[in-house]
Chains A and B, each alone.
Chain A
Amino acid sequence: MFAFTIRRIAQGILVMLIISFLCFTIQHAIGDPVRDIVGISVSAAEREALREKMGLNDPFLSQYIRFLGKAVRGDVGMSFFFKKPALEVILFKAPATLELVFVSSVIIIFISIPLGIYCAINPKHILSRIIMGMSIVGVSIPVFLTAIMLIYIFSVELHWLPSYGRGELVNIGGWKSGLFTISGIRHLILPSIALSSIMLPLFIRLIRSQMMEILETEYIKFAWAKGLHKRRIWFIHAFKNTLLPVITVGGVQLGTMIAFTILTETVFQWQGLGFLFIEAVERADTTLLVAYLMVVGVIFVVVNTIVDLIYGLVNPTVRIQGTR
């Protein structure tokens, strides 16, 4: 398990190096740090002097290494618009997005697992057919449309839930959380449903098809022949095996979900990373874009490493390979 962990971490670092290189290349190609600092009302000669002083005329590779050295210490540059370190801006906005993704993940886990198992056990039941049909519809409707429909129904027509913003927040050691006030939770409901609307049907379908396949295997047939209770066969024997591919896909999809927050946050005016990213694109705030990509990259890598470690816990064969 130890060797396995070390190897996964090494792979994670490699992925981060590649991401940082891509980010730097983008910034190098489209960004202009001089403008970021002095604006546009400075003469060309002064700009050139500043470029030389900042090392912007140095070879590409030495600039990259300098960028990497600063990035490791948490400095990816100043945001042109906020006049603050980009990472600070990102970290200030991150809790909103992470809470949204967290609540959506909880919704997905607690709904997709029971529904997926139900559909796998009773594939011909009318209820399973309805769930399967709905899931096709769910996958096909884009997030922003779901979001707008939710706002129309629950905010505009029924006046049940707020349609934008995060509501009342609690500050816990610098982390502004909406999970501990009623207003905050009410504000979370619609965005998190909208965000989970794409992944939820996918996971129901994934769990169903995996589990149906597992239920046909010899070891499940043997479990029946041992005279086990059906609940034990379904929830222990079949489900534990179903989990393996679901965990793998889940790790990748969690990253995708962070990307999907861009749409959800825009519709709900949710002050998180996705919203920040769209603003940064509009303002050509390249440093902030790069910082966003790096932070999302880190989250992606960390989540996937954790997922792989969990996978090792569930699947005994992986553990053995790791130790060899």
Chain B
Amino acid sequence: MEHLLELQNIVVRFALRFGDLTAVDDVSFTLDRGDRMGLVGESGAGKSVTGFSIIGLISRPGYIASGRILFEGTDLAHLNEEALRNIRGNRISMIFQDPMMTLNPVLTIGTQMTETLQAHMDITDEEAAAMAVDRLRMVHIPSPEKRLNQYPHEFSGGMRQRIVIAIALLMDPALIIADEPTTALDVTIQAEILDLLLELCATGKTGLILITHDLAVVSQVTDKITVMYAGRIVEMGSTDTIIHDPRHPYTQGLINALPGSRHTGSRLNQIPGMMPNLLTIPPGCSFHPRCPFMMDICTKQAPRLKYYKEHERQISCFLMENQNKGSI
């Protein structure tokens, strides 16, 4: 069966004066209708760029250098601007990180909702307003009719994120890409927003890509995880298996760094060192300078992402390859 979304060997580069920088390197994954996938990694891992590349909105001077993005059978990477515009906000919508910055301060909520509908459908203002009210009700905004005439600054952060979600839902999209949707919110509001996202994904056949650095959020909402490091996928599989039994040293580091995995009062575990910036990606496996299990080969050769049946997931690490050889 055709997947909802299939990324095939996507490479995203940024054209800079002294040459091109590779921000996303050979990323492939698939997503089916109703799937909820977490795209995880530290800042700079390329997860947001991957997300934005799907709807062709990588900020300049970034561009998709190669690969295909098949969405409902169409290759978005090679689509013209007008066709892509018609998919944005319609078949694929996005939720951004900071709800305080996402809504235009000088336009009413009503305008910002109806204009989205009217960009994709030929409907009257009244019909559009009725649909907007309906979506606001779906995200539990009280007395939505009155709210349409209000400006963003008249809402709290949590309310604004609900409105952003309502806007994302307007056209009943097949895919929602949420870029750190709860990072800028209070913890209590975070939980509400996550519940809301889950509720909305469960009712429809909407696929969700949740871009985040927060593994706790991912484990609550998603059913599969893609872990990225320095532009590459290092581990990909079901949320359950990866959270309970991480195999890649980087994923292990991320999970060990969670407060829950330590006793109260002791120091949190952290992965030593920093994510390399894109200018200085180390040769071989880009994680090797921070890896506790580093071997000779890691400094020379980059591991390939392979499927390991016994672990029910794809991993890109020489440790796995060696174990495999040993077991054969």
What residues of chain A lie closer than 8 Å to B247, measured between beta carbons? none
Check B167 for interface membership: any CB of A closer than 8 A.
Answer: yes
* Residues 221-240 of A at the B interface (beta carbon under 8 Å): 221-229, 232, 236-237, 240
Contact A241 B55 (CB under 8 A): no
Q: With A227-B120, A320-B153 in contact, do A219 and B89 touch (Cβ < 8 Å)?
A: no
Q: Is the CB of A223 within 8 A of B104?
A: yes
- Known A221-B57, A317-B151, A320-B154; judge A226-B105 contact (CB<8 A): no
When the two chains form their complex, are residues B120 and A316 in contact, meaning their CB atoms are under 8 A apart?
no
Judge whether A241 and B105 touch: CB under 8 Å. Answer: yes
Interface hit among B93-101, B122-130, B219-227, B277-285: B93-101
The answer to whether A227 and B105 have CB atoms under 8 Å apart is no
Query: Of the 9-residue stretches B80-88, B194-202, B311-319, which lies at the interface with chain A?
Result: B80-88
Contact residues in A for B295 (Cβ distance below 8 Å)? none
Contact with B along A282-324 (1 / 0, CB 8 A): 0000000000000000000000000000000011110010000
Q: Do B55 and A316 touch (CB < 8 A)?
A: no
| B87, B93, B96, B119: the one within 8 Å of A229 (CB) | B119
CB pair A227–B116 under 8 Å, yes or no, is yes
Closest to A241 in B: B106
**Distance in Å from the Cβ of A279 to the closest Cβ of chain B?**
47
Judge if B2 is at the interface, Cβ distance under 8 Å.
no
Query: A237 with B89: in contact, given A225-B55, A232-B119, A316-B151 (CB under 8 Å)?
Result: no
Known: A240-B106, A241-B106, A316-B153. A225 touches B101 (CB 8 A): no
- Within the complex, the shortest CB–CB distance from A306 to chain B, in Å, comes to 20
In the complex, chain A residues whose CB is within 8 Å of the CB of B151: 316-317
Q: Would A226 and B57 count as touching, CB distance under 8 A?
A: no
Other than A226-B88, A240-B106, give 10 A-B pairs with Cβ distance below 8 A. A221-B96, A226-B93, A226-B115, A227-B85, A227-B116, A227-B120, A228-B85, A244-B106, A314-B106, A320-B153
Which of A217, A220, A222 has most B Cβ within 10 Å? A222
Q: Which residue of B lies closest to A219 (CB)?
A: B104
Interface residue B107 (Cβ < 8 Å from any Cβ of A): yes
Chain B residues whose CB sits within 8 angstroms of the CB of A314 once the complex forms:
106
Contact A218 B102 (CB under 8 A): yes
Chain A CB within 8 A of B90 CB: yes
B85/A229 in contact, CB under 8 A: yes
Chain B nearest CB from A278 CB (Å) reads 43
Is B103 located at the chain interface by the 8 A CB criterion? yes
Beyond A218-B102, A222-B96, A316-B153, whether A236 also contacts B89 by CB under 8 A is no
Compute how far the CA of A320 lies from the CA of B119 in the bound complex, rounded to whole angstroms. 30
B263-284 CB contacts (< 8 Å) to partner A: none
Q: Is the CB of B107 within 8 A of A227?
A: no
Q: Are A225 and B85 in contact (CB under 8 A)?
A: no
**Majority DSSP secondary structure for residues of A touching B:** helix
Chain A residues whose C-beta falls within 8 Å of the C-beta of B96 in the assembled complex: 218, 221-222, 225
Chain A window 202-227, contacts with chain B (Cβ cutoff 8 Å), 1 for yes, 0 for no: 00000000000000011111111111
Contacts of B88 in A (CB 8 A): 224-227
A237, B105: Cβ atoms closer than 8 Å: no
Residue ranges of A at the interface with B (Cβ–Cβ < 8 Å): 217-229, 232, 236-237, 240-241, 244, 314-317, 320
Complexed CA–CA distance, A314 and B107 (Å): 9
Cβ of A228 and Cβ of B103 under 8 Å apart? no
Give the contacting residue for B57; candidates A217, A225, A236, A316; CB below 8 A: A225
Across-interface contacts of A219 in B (CB, < 8 A): 101-105
- Tell whether, in the assembled complex, residue B106 and residue A227 are in contact, meaning their CB atoms are under 8 Å apart: no
Contact bitstring B199-216, A, C-beta under 8 A = 1, else 0: 000000000000000000
B102 and A222 contact, CB distance less than 8 A: yes
Cα separation A316 to B96 with both chains bound (whole Å): 23
In the bound complex, do residue A224 and residue B57 qualify as a contact, i.e. CB atoms below 8 Å apart? yes
> Given the complex of chains A and B, what is the CA–CA distance between A244 and B104 in angstroms?
13
Question: In the complex, are the beta carbons of B104 and A226 less than 8 A apart?
Answer: no
User: In whole angstroms, what is the CA distance A217 to B55 when docked?
Assistant: 18
Q: Can you identify 15 A-B contacts, CB atoms within 8 angstroms? A: A218-B102, A220-B104, A224-B57, A225-B93, A226-B88, A226-B93, A226-B119, A227-B119, A228-B119, A232-B115, A240-B104, A240-B106, A314-B106, A315-B105, A316-B151
A314 to B151, CA, bound (A): 12
| Inter-chain contacts of B102 with A (CB < 8 A) | 218-219, 222
Q: Which residues of B contact A244 (CB under 8 A)?
A: 106
User: With A and B bound together, what is the CA distance between A170 and B301 in angstroms?
Assistant: 88
Name the distance in Å between B99's Cβ and chain A's nearest Cβ.
10
Taken together as a complex, chains A and B put the C-alpha atoms of A241 and B107 apart, in Å, by: 10
Q: Which chain B residues border A315 with CB–CB below 8 Å?
A: 105-106
Which residues from chain B contact A240 at a C-beta distance below 8 Å?
Answer: 104, 106-107
Contact A226 B103 (CB under 8 A): no
Return the CB mask of B126-143 against A: 1 if under 8 Å, else 0.
Answer: 000000000000000000
